[in-house]
Amino acid sequence: MADGAGMAAETERMIERDGAKEPESAASGGETRKEMRVVLLTGFGGLNKLRVAKKAMPEPQEGEVKIRVKACGLNFLDLMVRQGNIDNPPKTPLVPGFECSGIVEAMGENTQGFEIGDRVMAFVNYSAWAEVVCTPLDFVYKIPDDMTFIEAAAFSMNFVAAYMMLFEVAALREGMSVLVHSAGGGVGQAVAQLCSTVSNVTVFGTASPFKHEAIKDSVTHLFDRNIDYVPEVKKISPEGVDIVLDCLCGENTGKGLGLLKPLGTYILYGSSNMVTGETKSFFSFAKSWWQVEKVNPIKLYEENKVMAGFSLLNLLFKQGGCKPVRSAVEKLFSLYNQKKIKPLVDSLWALEEVKEAMQRIHDRGNIGKLILDVEKPPTPLVTVTLYSFKVK
């Protein structure tokens, strides 16, 4: 109660401080540059490192698209970025965020395929949590007519990652079985929906107990994330599973490999077990990696098992994977238009409420995706807290 009230009070201070009109920044030659609101990460650490600020609005360079942002996705990776809990973190201050949706407002030179007014979703190499972003056209996609901006912001990272892991890396086919951790999160729910598009696929999921009622119909078998799920899976499927999707790491790596059937595929796509407190913990980092069993390539060969990793952002921004990602997006849009998949949105938050939103992800309290709604007016949580207290 005290923590929630404290963050709510901070939200009110952010609104008062940043809501006041600030002068536009002066550019060279006496011109003025328009400003925009952004979420600014002033340094790596706790929630107090985040604030809403004004920043000069970017203009598109050659090959870039300028987007008036309507909504941004918030992922567990953003929490790890805030803590500096990633390899080679960028310098601060920075604007976080890797995905957004909105309307094309302008285009740089040699930019074809888009028109002003197009409704799009986009990947951004940081800086997505802002009112305006500029990003290369290779990372921008026109969204279906029926897709809302909120859905688009919940769609890009989660569904593309889920699709590429299941179909491009693990070659999901009829009759297979899949184990997915954090089944109630954005990626977990995307995995469950995509598995339902293939006949006779069995989905084993782990999640916090309070999420079970809400997501029980999306997976075949659901287990408490706090128990040893290995014997529970073996009771149902003694031979194991065909695919393991692991966003936890640590001891789950050895467990996942041990559960694989011959010709099965284990994919690591995150390491959320490294996050325990509000700030980076070297103890949690060391413990997580210490628990990872040493992988013997000879044993993989003898047991006919595949171990893989997947990072969508590295594929896009460091490895030139724009073409396979665009192909996946097109297939996913087709499934959306056929009403076979639909992003599950947990909640909407104003930019000024980013701290409360991040705390919800940290507490693993979300079912589906959290969205920063750029046009949403902030609602200080102190009002909700006081009201809840009266009801009790």
**pLDDT tens-place string over residues 216-271:** 999 999 999 889 999 999 999 999 999 999 998 778 888 999 999 999 999 999 86
Instruction: Give the orientation angle of helix 322-337 with respect to helix 149-163, to 10 degrees.
Output: 120
- C-alpha span between 42 and 116 (Å, rounded): 33
Calculate mean pLDDT across residues 45-55. Answer: 95
pLDDT tops 70 at residue 32? no
**pLDDT digit string, tens, across residues 281-316:** 444 444 444 445 677 888 899 999 999 999 999 999
- C-alpha span between 371 and 377 (Å, rounded): 13
State the pLDDT confidence band at 31, using cuts at 50, 70 and 90: low
| Residues contacting 112, CB < 8 A, separation 6+ | 137
Q: What are phi and psi of 203, to 5 degrees?
A: -115, 120
DSSP state of 291: T
Contact (CB, 8 A) for 57 and 76:
no
DSSP lists the bridge partners of residue 122 as 100, 140
- C-alpha span between 295 and 267 (Å, rounded): 13
| Region at 368 (left for phi over 0; alpha for psi -120 to 50; beta for the rest) | left
Calculate mean pLDDT across residues 186-197. Answer: 96
**pLDDT digit string, tens, across residues 356-366:** 999 999 888 99
**pLDDT digit string, tens, across residues 77-94:** 999 999 988 888 889 999
Whole-number average pLDDT of the chain = 86
The whole-model pTM stands at 0.85
The tokens of 297 are what? Answer: 């390539």
The residue count for the chain: 392
Q: For residue 277, what pLDDT is reported?
A: 52
CB count within 10 Å of CB 381 equals: 21
pLDDT tops 60 at residue 61? yes
Q: Which of 113-122, 200-209, 289-298, 332-341 shows the lowest mean pLDDT across its residues?
A: 289-298
State the pLDDT confidence band at 390, using cuts at 50, 70 and 90: very low
pLDDT tops 80 at residue 24? no
Give the Å distances, CA to CA, from 20 to 23, 42, 52, 352: 10, 20, 12, 13
Q: For residue 79, what pLDDT is reported?
A: 92
DSSP state of 169: I
Q: For residue 272, what pLDDT is reported?
A: 59
Q: Which of 254-268, 328-342, 372-386 shows the lowest mean pLDDT across its residues?
A: 372-386
Calculate mean pLDDT across residues 152-157. Answer: 97
